[in-house]
Amino acid sequence: MGQLDGCVTMGRFLVLMLLTGLAMAVLALVSGFSTLNQPNGPHTGGGTMTEDPHRGIPPISDRHFTSGSAQGQSKGPIAFTFDLPIDRDKAYVQDGLAWIAFGGPGDPRAILVSLDEPEDSVAISEGSTTVVGTGGQCQFAISVTASLVEGDIDCVEADARRDGAYIGVVTMNVHFTAGS
């Protein structure tokens, strides 16, 4: 019986170590993502898109986008030029938080416009190479109607990352339309 108790103890230890490793991996992923979207100040939106006159982006009602496209370009250590269709599965607004994704399943290229998450940001990526611009780095000109969200985003100092490591600053601009 002593040998069985040792196996059970070792099994528990291995499960505990596996769970600890998984928790550390999730924390590393979350902390890596949060460095891409560092807030420049306190977020006053409370999880919903607010009509802040200084923000310049009108509130967007809950919806799922089914049409549209985005043209994105970056210049600097990472240079992209993409023209991508809307990703119908990953383009929506829920509870005032907008995730408007462009690119197709299996395509390593993507453009993501996120609004009020906790701040406004835009990203262009191909595989593990990404350029990201957030609220303080970009100018967002977004118009909203009952059936269309359209915008131009210009970032003069967006962050360039390859395999999660910061490699420099790029300029980036994105024009998009998303119809519901």
- Percent of the chain at pLDDT above 90? 62
Contact 135, 36 (CB under 8 A): no
Name the pairing type of β-strands 67-75 and 80-94. antiparallel
CB atoms within 10 A of CB 55: 18
Residue listed under structure tokens 């250590």: 77
Comparing 54 with 170, which gets the higher pLDDT?
170
Using alpha carbons, list the distances in angstroms from residue 29 to 9, 25, 98, 111.
30, 6, 21, 20
Within the chain, where are the H helices? 2-36
d(CA 37, CA 135): 9
Comparing 180 with 24, which gets the higher pLDDT?
180
The strand pairing partners of 6, in sequence order, are none
- Listed range (51-60, 104-113, 134-143) with the worst mean pLDDT: 51-60
User: Which sign, positive or negative, has the C-alpha torsion 134, 136, 141, 142?
Assistant: positive
pLDDT at 114 over 60: yes
d(CA 148, CA 118): 22
Q: What is the pLDDT of residue 31?
A: 37
Taking residues 24-36, what's their average pLDDT? 35
CB atoms within 10 A of CB 45: 17
Q: What is the pLDDT of residue 116?
A: 86
The closest alpha carbon to 134, from 146, 148, 145, 118, belongs to: 118
pLDDT digit string (tens) for 133-166?
998 899 999 999 999 999 999 999 999 999 999 9
Q: What is the pLDDT of residue 2?
A: 55
The closest alpha carbon to 165, from 138, 133, 129, belongs to: 129
